[in-house]
Amino acid sequence: MKKWICGVLSLMIVLISAFALADARMPINRGALTDDADVLSSELSSAIVGYAEDVKNETDMDVYVAVVHFLDGLDAQSYANQLFKEWELNDNAVLLLCAAGEDSFATAMGKKAENKLSKQNMDNLMYTSSDFAASIGRQEYDGAFAKYFVAFNDLINKRFDASLKLPKAISKAADAGTAEEVQPGVTSSFSAGSLWSQIISGVPEFENGSSVLIPGMWSQTVQDVEDNSSYYTDYYQDHSYGENGIGVGGWIILIILVMIIFSQSHPVRRANNRYKKNHGGRGWLYGLLGVALIRMFRRR
């Protein structure tokens, strides 16, 4: 009896799920952009369509954007997967879905696209690699999609070793959205990238363009700091800040700043200059270590 009841319940669940998928209204495929919610400006819409053509020509990837009002009871990922099948998109296709009335979104991809770009990277585009999720929550749709495609373009260029350029309308909308976030008279939240740019803006360089204090190995370190700072800002803002309001990324940059200031002290500069004369100007690290050892022995 119990087995019979369980079987009936399981069948009911399957039928209900099937009816839900069947009843969900799916928009008609209108090409690279289907904006049934009518939330994107005509200028940005045209730019997205043009950019999708550029991606297709450069990488053979098909980019689709679908903006609807509601998901008709489905979660965003289920709706995106169902729409991907409904439109019969190919293995090289990427579909970005957004439900404007529910502030929900998801990505669906073909197998070849997923192997090339990875599901994790595509999820990061919506949450950590851009301000897409936060902008959607503020109903700033032009800015949200523009920032998404800025991050998407970076990913495409890296994965395909391409040199795609964004249309001016997308770059303009992304910049406008960023400017609106920092209001006059309001202190903006910590930004690892902007602070780092200020730190290294006055650092002298060699004739070949390499930095005196920031050798090549720092580039990857800085990129990692920016990525992790963005992640903590988006996901752990309420938990990762100390009493003084500085986040994890902030402490990392602060430590680097202290190291740079210390390395610019007179003893280190003298040691660095001596080493540059004898070894081509790459003695900043050895000079720093040498002065540190001298000071340690002096204290003893």
Which three-class secondary structure state does DSSP give residue 218? Answer: helix
Mean pLDDT, rounded, for 70-96: 97
Q: Give the total residue count for the chain.
A: 300
Q: Where in the chain is the domain with CATH 3.10.310.50?
A: 20-181
What would the pLDDT profile of 114-140 be if each residue is shown by its tens digit? Answer: 999 999 999 999 998 889 999 999 999
Mean pLDDT, rounded, for 57-74: 96
- Average of per-residue pLDDT values in the chain: 74
Angle at CA of residue 29, ends 45 and 92, nearest 5°: 90
Say if domain 20-181 classifies as CATH 3.10.310.50.
Answer: yes
Average the pLDDT over each of 82-86, 152-156, 183-187, 206-210 and give the range with the smallest value.
206-210
Mean pLDDT, rounded, for 173-185: 68
Give residue 24's pLDDT: 83
Strand pairing report for 62-68 and 93-99: parallel
Average the pLDDT over each of 27-36, 126-135, 167-176, 258-267 and give the range with the smallest value.
258-267
Give residue 22's pLDDT: 53
Average the pLDDT over each of 44-58, 195-209, 268-282 and give the range with the smallest value.
195-209
- The residue that leads in pLDDT, 80 or 190, is 80
Task: Using CB atoms within 10 Å of the CB of residue 249, give its burial: 0 to 12 exposed, 13 to 18 middle, 19+ buried.
Answer: buried
Mean pLDDT, rounded, for 235-263: 56
Nearest to 214 by CA among 190, 196, 228, 193: 196
Tokens 């004898």 belong to residue: 278
For residue 64, give the H/E element and its range.
Answer: strand 62-68
The DSSP annotation for 238-254 comes to TTS--TTS--HHHHHHH
Distance from C-alpha of 107 to C-alpha of 64, rounded to nearest angstrom: 10
Give residue 255's pLDDT: 73
- The pair of three-digit structure tokens given for residue 39, joined into one six-digit string: 């939330």
Q: Is the pLDDT of residue 167 over 90?
A: yes
pTM (2 d.p.): 0.57
Mean pLDDT, rounded, for 86-114: 97
- Amino acid identity of 249? G
Distance from C-alpha of 141 to C-alpha of 42, rounded to nearest angstrom: 12
CB atoms within 10 A of CB 121: 17
Contacts of 174 (CB under 8 A, 6+ apart): 143, 146, 147, 149, 150
Mean pLDDT, rounded, for 236-251: 50
Strands, sheet with 62-68, edge to edge from the N-terminal-most edge strand: 33-35, 62-68, 93-99, 104-109
